[in-house]
Amino acid sequence: MSANVSATLYLISGVLFILALRGLSSPETSRQGNLFGIIGMIIAITVTFLSVGNFTSGFIYVLIFLAIGGTIGAFIAYKIPMTAMPELVAGFHSLVGLAAVFVAISAFINPEAFNLGTPGNIKLASLIEMAIGAAVGAITFSGSVIAFLKLQGIMSGAPITFKGQHALNALILISIVILTFYLCSTQSSNLFWILIAVSFLIGFLIIIPIGGADMPVVISMLNSYSGWAAAGIGFTLENTALIITGALVGSSGAILSYIMCKGMNRSFFNVILGGFGATTGTTGDKNKEQRPVKSGNADDAAFLMKNASSVIIVPGYGMAVAQAQHALREMVDTLKKSGIKVSYAIHPVAGRMPGHMNVLLAEANVPYDEVFELEEINNNFANADVAFVIGANDVTNPVAKTDPQSPIYGMPVLDVEKCKSVLFVKRSLSPGYAGIDNDLFYRENTLMLFADAKKMTEDITKNL
Amino acid sequence: MEIDPFIFRFSIFILSIFIGYYVVWSVTPSLHTPLMSVTNAISSVIIVGAIIAALSGNEDVIFSSSSIYGFLAIILAAVNIFGGFLVTQRMLAMYKKKKKDK
């Protein structure tokens, strides 16, 4: 296949990838968008086969390896529970990162196959691109592995900090730049291996100080990195499909990180520097008096909801942990049968990844037009009778609006306290991720329901 | 003076960032999780490089020191392509509108 034809086809697959993302602007067009993405991928792979034109026994092995990977991927995709989606995405990011590293290594060892020159005499521009692709890929890999371990609970979600952490990280980042510079002037393979090793290390060090509830930002950031790594390799291979995709994914991840940071009213650097939740929480402890809390049982909650005309549900990460989404939907169905209006309010950073709550509710067959974002629904709390907070905490804390001393001051929160009554499902009075007391617990109109989210929801349904 | 082809690729790159910027802002927040899984799948188009690397050996040496990395990358990327697209499809199939007859 001529180079011009294959370049044009790669461009087409790049355009199809753009359309795949475009489709996600609404749930109706999204499935078609996904199909465009699949077609784009098939075109890219087919064109590569045709342009290499090497249909020898090596080709058979390529197909075998493709089938092995594909089977594993398909198996995971069908088996994975929706609550594990953040872990899955983190795991997938690590694979993209590692694949980028492997391609870069292969290109470094055998540049002739990629038309980049000869070993020890690789074109300067290609070498820089290769080094960037490999370094960013390695950072994506080790960073995603840590994120995966934290989300999976294998590693504690608590931030791991030590003295001189930021200085060390800065030093390593500078050394990566210096290594790249020397790699380009000497073409030494030892430097290339060191560069990759150091990049693995920094990916690891960047993510360990970031706490569990900041994972939405981390996952989005790693999403962005995996894109930049792909783009770097795309420049090396002079492949438009890869360059376009890398840029798309890179900017997509960057925007998601931005949205997540805004949802917490924190700067990106504040999140990345880490340690949040480990050092704060001292302000509330000093004058901690035992304030009275009203607590109730499923019967009380059922009574309140039965007499309401509109109910707003506020789900959070706790709902995912307790796998309470199906029980919740059943409760809502019972409410709707009695003519009660129910809607769902989702905070941008609820859960462990962007859109986490929406997917869980969709899984439980909640129609997406009953689910609203913070800005859409926040004014409705004042007119609602009952707010049912299930597994959320910091995102409902009115302190964010009133106390400039609070670490979450200025963070957009759901105006849950404006409801006539608030039902707050929680295991105990322990503070949330930000390490501060939730003022909502002590309000006159709040009724605490101390129980596991799933069990409580089921009990309420029985009492309705 | 002739323009270096790199500049053309760089132009595509920069323009694609802008396309990405506007396209992603138009994605509805409720679909942010599928957005992440589909971007995951499409960034695995890096398999193109993996295939070139894997087929770089000759008939006698299929698994050379460089092609072996290509084969490994093919497995990783294939997991991602199939896993990413299928899990996205599975998620998107769950997003349903309220039924009118209800």
- Residue A394 bears catalytic tag: yes
Give the tokens for residue A161: 């900090």
**Structural contact between residues A205 and A273, judged by C-beta atoms closer than 8 angstroms:** no
Whether the pLDDT of residue B101 is over 50: the answer is no
Partnered with residue A315 across adjacent β-strands are A390
Residue in chain B nearest A369 by alpha carbon: B97
Closest CA to A105 of B39, B76, B16: B76
Chain A residues lying within 8 Å of B57, measured CB to CB: 58
Interface membership of A252 toward B (CB under 8 Å): yes
Task: Report helix angle A325-337 to A453-463, nearest 10.
Answer: 20
| Strands A386-390, A421-426: pairing kind | parallel
Predicted local distance difference test score (pLDDT) of residue A21: 95
Give the tokens for residue A247: 């840029």
**Contact A252/B39, CB-based, under 8 Å?**
yes
Interface membership of A220 toward B (CB under 8 Å): yes
For B62, which of A34, A57, A71 is closest by C-beta distance? A57
CA atoms within 13 A on the CB side of A100: 41
The tens digit of pLDDT for each residue in B45-93 reads 999 999 999 988 766 777 888 889 999 999 999 999 999 999 999 999 9
Question: A-B interface: how many C-beta pairs under 8 angstroms?
Answer: 377
The residues near A357 (Cβ < 8 Å, ≥ 6 apart) are A315, A316, A319, A320, A344, A346, A350, A351
Predicted local distance difference test score (pLDDT) of residue B44: 94
Q: Residue A24's CB: how many other CB atoms inside 10 A?
A: 26
> Does the interface ipTM go beyond 0.85?
yes
How does residue B99 score in pLDDT terms, banded at 50, 70 and 90? Answer: low
Predicted local distance difference test score (pLDDT) of residue A193: 94
Predicted local distance difference test score (pLDDT) of residue B58: 66
List all residues of chain A from 317 to 346 with a beta carbon under 8 Å from chain B: 346
**Contact A239/B49, CB-based, under 8 Å?**
yes
**Structural contact between residues B56 and B43, judged by C-beta atoms closer than 8 angstroms:** no
Chain A residues lying within 8 Å of B74, measured CB to CB: 62, 65-66, 69
Partnered with residue A386 across adjacent β-strands are A311, A421
Give the tokens for residue A125: 């521009």
Interface membership of A246 toward B (CB under 8 Å): yes
Predicted local distance difference test score (pLDDT) of residue A31: 93
**Structural contact between residues A62 and B51, judged by C-beta atoms closer than 8 angstroms:** yes
For A362, which of B42, B95, B98 is closest by C-beta distance? B95
The residues near B3 (Cβ < 8 Å, ≥ 6 apart) are none
Predicted local distance difference test score (pLDDT) of residue A292: 81
A275-284 burial code (b ≥16 CB/10 A, e <16): bbbeebeeeb
Chain A residues lying within 8 Å of B88, measured CB to CB: 34, 37
Residue in chain B nearest A110 by alpha carbon: B66
List all residues of chain B from 67 to 86 with a beta carbon under 8 Å from chain A: 67, 69-86
Distance CA A287, CA A424 (A): 24
How does residue B13 score in pLDDT terms, banded at 50, 70 and 90? Answer: very high
CA distance B57 to chain A (A): 8
Q: CA torsion angle for A448, A449, A453, A456 (degrees, to 10)?
A: -160
Interface membership of B8 toward A (CB under 8 Å): no
Give the C-alpha distances (Å, rounded to integers) separating A64 from A7, A288, B47: 26, 64, 14
Distance CA A390, CA B10 (A): 48
**Contact A73/B83, CB-based, under 8 Å?**
yes
A379-410 burial code (b ≥16 CB/10 A, e <16): ebbeebbbbbbbbbbbbbbbbbbebeebbbee
CA atoms within 13 A on the CB side of A441: 20
Q: What is the mean pLDDT of each run of 10 residues along chain A (464 residues)?
A: 89 95 93 95 94 81 94 95 91 95 93 85 89 94 94 83 86 92 89 94 91 86 94 92 94 93 85 63 48 85 90 92 92 92 92 90 92 92 92 88 84 91 86 78 89 90 87
Which residue in the list A394, A415, A437, A459 is annotated as catalytic?
A394
Q: Edge-to-edge strand order for the sheet containing A310-315? A: A371-373, A341-346, A310-315, A386-390, A421-426, A446-450
Q: Residue A54's CB: how many other CB atoms inside 10 A?
A: 18
Predicted local distance difference test score (pLDDT) of residue A287: 47
Q: What angle do CA A127, A133, A134 make, to 5 degrees?
A: 90
